[in-house]
Structure 1
Amino acid sequence: MKLLRNKYRWLALLVALWTRGMGAVMGAPPATVDVNAMTFTPLPVVLTEEKDTLIFSDSPEYVNKNGVLAAGTVNGTGRVYFYHVNEMAEPQKIAIIMENKSKQNVEIDIHREVVTKPNREYFVVGSELSREELEAPYVSPNQNWQPAAQTDRSAGAAGLVTTVKKDEQGAIVPTWLDDSYKDLQKEAVKGKALSKDEKALYRARLKEADNWRKEWLRGEKVAAKLKPTVIESFVLAPGGKKAVFSKLDTLPIQTDDLFSGILDFTASGPVYVKVLMLPINTPSLGGSVLADTLPMDEVALRGTYVGAQRRLTLMQPYDSSLGPAAVMVVNDREDPFVEGNDELTTDAAVTNRGNYGVTYDLTIPTTGGHEFALYINPLGGAYAGSFKVTYDGQTEVYDVPSGARLFLGNGTTADTQYFGVYKAGKLLRIQFIPAGASNLPIQFLLVPQN
């Protein structure tokens, strides 16, 4: 996703960002913090679980010829995420075709179609899609999270490879989700004479650990009972083909416009999914028959990846009594980039540098005697997107940047933005999708309040 080629129309972008909503809170802590005036303890995340298949279509990003942009096979629950610019003189459209190459009928359920209008302002497209992805109703039928393929790499980067525990399936179990954290608390006071205050703190820590686990298990139980979202169902016979996401036919991509969207679905068997760019008036299914396959550009951001959704967590809780801390994500260390293959180029190995199209679910257990404020701090360059924060049963979506700024973090690693303030002791949950056109990594700052 190239930043420098964007042709900014500053006034239009200012207006668009003003209308996205304001994230300020009256009487809240400072809207920004001076990262150079504080020492932040790094709290490494660990990639614990992932699920679903991602077909990523972003190469070629700048399309100067009609044809197939990306394709891949999904058997189960999957997602298509596309991000393309029309560099042709005439209006174009994106088309998505599903094909059954097997010898059995394949049942398809379409769960969600998320899209924003094409626009020359790349940050508008990326940030609006990231908010739509958070707000568009979606309950996946797949509740079977799997151990992440790069779990060991993540734990190793976090310095925890020899200390983590795994369940029967091989998924890492956070210490706060079993008895490990409580055992550590008990061991720390074993044989010691505790004051009244120390005893109270000890009991509070054990109660917090029970509450973290209850809160997590309660959330899992609720999610398992939700009815999956289905907006369309159909059957593909052997050899059958169908154009899906019909709304794409009504959204012309003008010259130099960026267009991006998400399709979530489930297939009862293997289904081959193609993403194409075609002239706006060309029937999608007919136009796909003789369409050429376009080569990847030098960025090589396309392919089929395992892990359209991923879970990250801290093994140990954030303790607000110990000072400021930072949790970094999408850094290709503790949080590795997803890896896959491009079925259009003889299964060439590919890496999604930025994890675009991947839904994140980050859990941070918290403890300590101080309230803490949550900030975002982009580290890779300009960022504009949205984040859903849930704490103690309350959920809020925050737009970055708030107000009339174009983006956060352009040419600096010192930009921050305030989200909210919380009383320590609960699970902090942050959900987002890396915003298109934006840069990674980012980190979340947790700052105790006196």
Structure 2
Amino acid sequence: MYWIKFGIVPLIMFVMLHSTALAVDTYSTVKLNGLTLSEWPVTVSSSSGKLLLSDSPEMVPDDGIMYQDTVSGDIRLFFHHVNATAEGKKIVVLLENNGEKTAHITVTKNGLGGPSLDYLQVGKEVQQEYLEGGNLYLIEVPCKESKSLISSLDHSVVETNMLVNGMYDLIIDHPVTIKVMMMPLDADAKEFAAQAKVLPADPGEHRLRGTFEGKDRLLVGKQTYDSKKSGTVALTLADNYLDQYVRGIDATDGTPTLNYGNYGIVYKIYLPSTSGDEISYYLNPRGGDYAGWLGLEYRHQDVHTIPTPADAMSFGANKISESAYLGTYESGKSLWMTFSPPGASNLPIKLILAPEKIK
């Protein structure tokens, strides 16, 4: 994704780990360059429903529909749009039910950021809220009716150059049409949707919109990591070489599309290790500015989220050796990580395993 930064304020977030982790005081940033490290092999599988990605046009030049598709089942919606007009607008998500039965939409997880001029902060906020969960709610849409997915956006003014970003997991029992739209402040969403046109997508690799099969990705180590034998290694995420971008269809015109960066894809990562040692984990951005969160579950008991980075709003813009410390844990224990590319951040990124904490 591409953006202009407006007054990003450093954010200091010292977060303490639970007692099950080892030798952790703060999640500080250290000097560790993942580019020089050996790649740790993993098996990759995708599953669990569809991803609707609405990020094109990213800089929305006029009123209209940025993306729409008619779907049911296990769905994730990821939208990321900036008001590029000269006046305030609304950016809303409308659920239309054209069927003969009431549609029930269960929102199982979600994160919402903006409207704001601080794009990195918005993307980071979405990741934190989504990974922390706990926002389940139900929407009922009667037949031939429509309702907003996010009621707060119905009354939210998106000023010029402000970004709105959201990530929503939905279970839909009957087909509904999901429409992501930008519209005048005084417009009624249902009336506007009935006559609104689909806006042209951004060209080339910036055509970040479409419907993609397999919204979740599971990565499991092919080998058991032994810190004494393997040393410091890295796992590359979202580079389209070692970790392929997901392919889909733009439902507005049937065009094949590629999700550059895998935005909206949720990764579950499990890297088995031998017992008897400690392993330190780091996240190293390789594409430029990066600001996100990461979920971690240790021994099925300690579940928490980690800001990446914790000692600033973002990192990776000028120093490719910057790495966010994620903690040190006993090897041989169950350790699962949850990762998703944050809106406004650049990919790829490397997850680093090291036999000791880097200072």
Normalising by structure 2, what TM-score? 0.89
RMSD, aligned CA: 2.4
1:50 aligns with 2:42: no
- Looking at structure 1, the residues matched to 150 and 30 of structure 2 have their Cα atoms a distance apart, in angstroms, of 43
Structure 1 contact 379–412 (Cα < 8 Å) conserved: no
> Residue 256 of structure 2 aligns with which residue?
349
Which ranges of structure 2 fall in alignment gaps of 5 or more residues? none
Q: Which amino acid counterpart does residue 22 of structure 1 have in structure 2? A: F
- 1:398 to 2:306 alignment: yes
Partner of 1:421: 328
Amino acid at match of 2:68: A
CA contact (8 A) 1:44 1:328 kept: no
Change (3 A) 1:38 1:89: closer
Change (3 A) 1:436 1:278: same
Residue 253 of structure 1: how far off its partner (Å): 0.6
Please give the residue correspondences for 1:74-223 in structure 2 after superposition, counting only pairs within 5 Å: 74-102=71-99, 104-105=100-101, 107-111=103-107, 112-137=109-134
Q: Distance in 2 between matches of 1:408 and 1:65?
A: 33
Residue 200 of structure 2 is aligned to residue 295 of structure 1: yes
CA contact (8 A) 2:110 2:130 kept: no
Mapped to 1, the partners of 2:210 and 2:48 lie a distance apart of: 16
Report the CA distance between 1:437 and its aligned residue: 0.8
Counterpart Cα distance in 2 of 1:36 and 1:417: 11
Structure 1 residue 275, shift from structure 2 partner: 0.8
1:308 equivalent to 2:215? Answer yes
Would the aligned equivalents of 1:109 and 1:266 in 2 still touch at CA under 8 Å? yes
1:264–1:280 distance in 2 versus 1, CA, 3 Å: farther
Q: Give the CA deviation at 1:37.
A: 11
Partner of 1:388: 295
The answer for the alignment partner of 2:140 in structure 1 is 234
2:34–2:352 contact (8 Å) kept in structure 1: no
The Cα offsets for residues 357-384 of structure 1, whole Å up to 9 and x where unpaired, read as 1222111111154211111111111111
Is 1:379 aligned with 2:286? yes
- 1:338 matched to which residue of 2? 246
Instruction: State the one-letter code of the partner of 2:2.
Output: K
Distance 1:355 1:41 in 2: 23
Flag the structure with more relative contact order, 1 or 2, with Cα contacts below 8 A and sequence separation at least 6: 1
| Native 8 Å contact 2:141 2:147 kept in 1 | no
Whichever structure has more strand as a proportion of its residues is 2
What does the per-residue CA deviation read over 1:377-427, in whole Å, with 9 as the maximum and x for residues that have no partner? 111111110011222221231112222x34211134211121111111023
Once residues 124 and 36 of structure 1 are traced to their aligned partners in structure 2, the CA distance between those partners, rounded to angstroms, is: 24
The question of whether the paired residues in 2 share the 8 Å contact of 1:106 and 1:271 is answered with no
2:166: which partner in 1? Answer: 261
Cα displacement string for residues 246-270 of structure 1 (whole angstroms, at most 9, x for unaligned residues): 1211221111111111232222233
C-alpha contact (below 8 Å) 2:33/2:322 kept by paired residues: no
Distance 2:251 2:319 in 1: 38
Q: Distance in 2 between matches of 1:27 and 1:242?
A: 49
Q: Report how far residue 449 of structure 1 moved.
A: 2.6
CA distance in 2, matches of 1:351, 1:449: 38
Q: Distance in 2 between matches of 1:22 and 1:407?
A: 15
- CA distance in structure 1 between the partners assigned to 2:241 and 2:83 by the alignment: 34
The match for 1:220 is none
Deviations 1:56-86 (A, max 9, x none): 1110011121000001121211122110111
CA deviation after TM superposition for structure 1 residue 106, in Å: 5.1
Q: Which amino acid aligns with 1:287?
A: F
User: Within 1, Cα distance between the matches of 2:139 and 2:32?
Assistant: 50
The alignment's TM-score, normalised by the length of structure 1, stands at: 0.72
Mark the CA change 1:420 to 1:91 in structure 2 (over 3 Å): closer, same or farther: same
Matched, 1:247 2:152: yes
Gaps of 5+ in 1: 139-228
- 1:234 Cα deviation from its structure 2 partner: 1.7
Distance, in Å, in 2 between the alignment partners of 1:107 and 1:85 is: 30
Alpha-carbon distance in 2 for matches of 1:310, 1:106: 32
* Structure 2 counterpart of 1:22: 14
* Higher helix content, 1 or 2: 1
* Aligned equivalents of 1:278, 1:262: Cα separation in 2: 20
Farther-moved stretch of structure 1 (307-316 vs 59-68): 307-316
Instruction: Give yes or no for contact 2:67–2:179 (8 Å, CA) kept in 1.
Output: yes
Match in the other structure for 2:6 = 8
Deviates more, 1:32-41 or 1:423-432: 32-41
